[in-house]
Structure 1
Amino acid sequence: MKWTILLATCCALLSEIVKCISVRHYLEEEGALSPKLVRFSFNKHQGKSFTSSTGLAKRDNGVTFDLKNEQNFYSIRLSVGTPGQEVVVLLDTGSSDLWIPGSDNPYCKDSSVYSMSSQYKENEKDKPFQTLPGGITATKPSGGSRASGTIDCNQFGTFNNKESRTFHSNDTRFSVSYGDTSYAEGTWGYDSINIGNVSLANVSMGIANLTNSSVGILGIGLSNLENTYTGVENVKNRDTHKYLNFPMMLKAQGLIEKNVYSLFLNRKRAYEGSILFGAVDHSKYTGQLYTVPMLNLYKQQGLQAPLQLQVTLQGVGLKGGNVTNTTSTTPVPALLDSGTTLVYLPDKMVTMLADQLNANWDRAIGYYVTDCSNVDNTELYFNFGGFNIASNMSSYVIGRSGNNRCVIGLQSGGPDSAILGDMFMQHAYIVFDLEDFEISMAQANYAGGEEQLETITKEVPSAKKAPGYSHTFSGSQSITRGGDIFHSTSYGSSSGSSTTTRTWNGRNAAADLAPAPMLAFFAHFIYSFLM
Structure 2
Amino acid sequence: MKSLIVLVACLVLSEALIRVPLRKSKSIREIMSEKGIHLPYTDPALKYHPEILATSTIEPMSNYADNYYYGVISVGTPPQSFQVLFDTGSSNLWVNSVYCNTQACTSHTQFNPQQSSTFQSTSQTFYLPYGAGALSGIFGYDTVTLSGITITGQEIGLSTNEPGRTFIVTPFDGILGLAYPSIAVGGQTPLVDTMMQRGLLQENLFAVYLSSNGNSGSEVMFGGVDQNMYQGEINWTPVTAETYWQIGIQEFSIGGQETGICSQYGGCQAIVDTGTSTITAPQQIMSKLMSSIGAQQNSYGEYVVNCQESNYPTLTFTISGVNFYVGPSDYIVGQNDYCYVKIFPTYLPAQNNQPLWILGDVFLKVYYSVYDRANNQLGFASAV
Give 1:350 deviation, angstroms. Answer: 2.5
Letter in 2 for 1:44: K
Give 1:167 deviation, angstroms. Answer: 0.7
- For residue 367 of structure 2, what is the aligned residue in structure 1? 428
Letter in 2 for 1:96: S
Change (3 A) 1:284 1:377: farther
Mean Cα displacement is larger for which, 286-295 or 263-272? 263-272
CA contact (8 A) 2:105 2:162 kept: no
User: For 2:101 and 2:37, how far apart are their aligned partners in 1?
Assistant: 33
- For residue 52 of structure 2, what is the aligned residue in structure 1? none
Alignment partner for residue 205 of structure 2, among 247, 255, 260? 260
Change (3 A) 1:198 1:409: same
Give 1:71 deviation, angstroms. Answer: 7.2
Alignment partner for residue 52 of structure 1, among 19, 24, 33? 33
User: For 1:188 and 1:41, how far apart are their aligned partners in 2?
Assistant: 27
Change (3 A) 1:269 1:377: farther
CA contact (8 A) 1:45 1:271 kept: no
Mean Cα displacement is larger for which, 256-265 or 27-36? 27-36
User: For 2:248 and 2:361, how far apart are their aligned partners in 1?
Assistant: 18
Alignment partner for residue 349 of structure 1, among 285, 289, 299? 285
User: For 1:173 and 1:354, how far apart are their aligned partners in 2?
Assistant: 43
Alignment partner for residue 326 of structure 2, among 391, 394, 398? 391
Question: Normalized against structure 2, the TM-score is what?
Answer: 0.79
Change (3 A) 1:225 1:382: same
Change (3 A) 1:427 1:187: same
CA contact (8 A) 1:92 1:220 kept: yes
Give 1:56 deviation, angstroms. Answer: 9.2
Deviations, residues 490-509 of structure 1 (Å, cap 9, x unaligned): xxxxxxxxxxxxxxxxxxxx
CA contact (8 A) 2:19 2:147 kept: no
User: For 1:105 and 1:339, how far apart are their aligned partners in 2?
Assistant: 23
Deviations, residues 319-354 of structure 1 (Å, cap 9, x unaligned): 4xxxx3333453210111111111111223232222
User: For 1:406 and 1:327, how far apart are their aligned partners in 2?
Assistant: 25
Structure number with greater CO (CA < 8 Å, separation at least 6) is 2
Mean Cα displacement is larger for which, 199-208 or 250-259? 250-259
Change (3 A) 1:253 1:375: farther
Letter in 2 for 1:362: Q
Change (3 A) 1:262 1:254: same
Give 1:33 deviation, angstroms. Answer: 4.9
Deviations, residues 260-297 of structure 1 (Å, cap 9, x unaligned): 1111112242234111111112232222211111112x
Alignment partner for residue 279 of structure 1, among 207, 224, 243? 224
- For residue 130 of structure 1, what is the aligned residue in structure 2? none
User: For 1:179 and 1:348, how far apart are their aligned partners in 2?
Assistant: 20
User: For 2:300 and 2:177, how far apart are their aligned partners in 1?
Assistant: 31
User: For 1:169 and 1:435, how far apart are their aligned partners in 2?
Assistant: 32
CA contact (8 A) 1:251 1:257 kept: no
Change (3 A) 1:360 1:257: closer
- For residue 41 of structure 1, what is the aligned residue in structure 2? 21
Name the SS of the counterpart of 1:174 in structure 2.
Answer: strand
User: For 2:232 and 2:14, how far apart are their aligned partners in 1?
Assistant: 28
- For residue 156 of structure 2, what is the aligned residue in structure 1? 205
User: For 1:377 and 1:269, how far apart are their aligned partners in 2?
Assistant: 22
Alignment partner for residue 327 of structure 1, among 259, 265, 286? 259
Give 1:188 deviation, angstroms. Answer: 1.0
1:55-454 matched pairs, under 5 angstroms: 72-107=67-102, 150-151=103-104, 153=106, 156-180=108-132, 182-212=133-163, 213=167, 215-228=173-186, 242-296=187-241, 306-319=242-255, 324-328=256-260, 329-330=262-263, 331-357=267-293, 359-372=294-307, 375=310, 378-400=313-335, 402=337, 406-414=339-347, 416-445=355-384
Change (3 A) 1:152 1:437: closer
- For residue 523 of structure 1, what is the aligned residue in structure 2? none
Give 1:308 deviation, angstroms. Answer: 1.1
Letter in 1 for 2:360: G
- C-alpha RMSD of matched pairs (Å): 2.7
CA contact (8 A) 2:273 2:360 kept: yes
Give 1:367 deviation, angstroms. Answer: 3.1
Name the SS of the counterpart of 2:99 in structure 1.
Answer: coil
User: For 1:178 and 1:86, how far apart are their aligned partners in 2?
Assistant: 23
- For residue 514 of structure 1, what is the aligned residue in structure 2? none
Give 1:35 deviation, angstroms. Answer: 1.5
Count, aligned residues: 335
4+ residue runs of structure 1 moved beyond 6 angstroms?
Answer: 26-29
CA contact (8 A) 2:24 2:69 kept: yes
* Higher strand content, 1 or 2: 2
Deviations, residues 17-62 of structure 1 (Å, cap 9, x unaligned): xxxxxxxxx99993425226522111112245254234698xxxxx
User: For 2:34 and 2:254, how far apart are their aligned partners in 1?
Assistant: 32
Deviations, residues 157-176 of structure 1 (Å, cap 9, x unaligned): 11111221111112211222
Deviations, residues 466-500 of structure 1 (Å, cap 9, x unaligned): xxxxxxxxxxxxxxxxxxxxxxxxxxxxxxxxxxx
CA contact (8 A) 2:18 2:147 kept: no
Change (3 A) 1:283 1:169: same
User: For 1:249 and 1:45, how far apart are their aligned partners in 2?
Assistant: 28
User: For 1:30 and 1:392, how far apart are their aligned partners in 2?
Assistant: 42
Change (3 A) 1:179 1:442: closer
CA contact (8 A) 2:96 2:158 kept: yes
**Bigger-Rg structure (1/2):** 1
Change (3 A) 1:407 1:79: closer
- For residue 30 of structure 1, what is the aligned residue in structure 2? 8
Name the SS of the counterpart of 1:349 in structure 2.
Answer: helix
CA contact (8 A) 1:36 1:257 kept: no
| Percent of paired sites with the same residue | 25
User: For 1:101 and 1:287, how far apart are their aligned partners in 2?
Assistant: 40
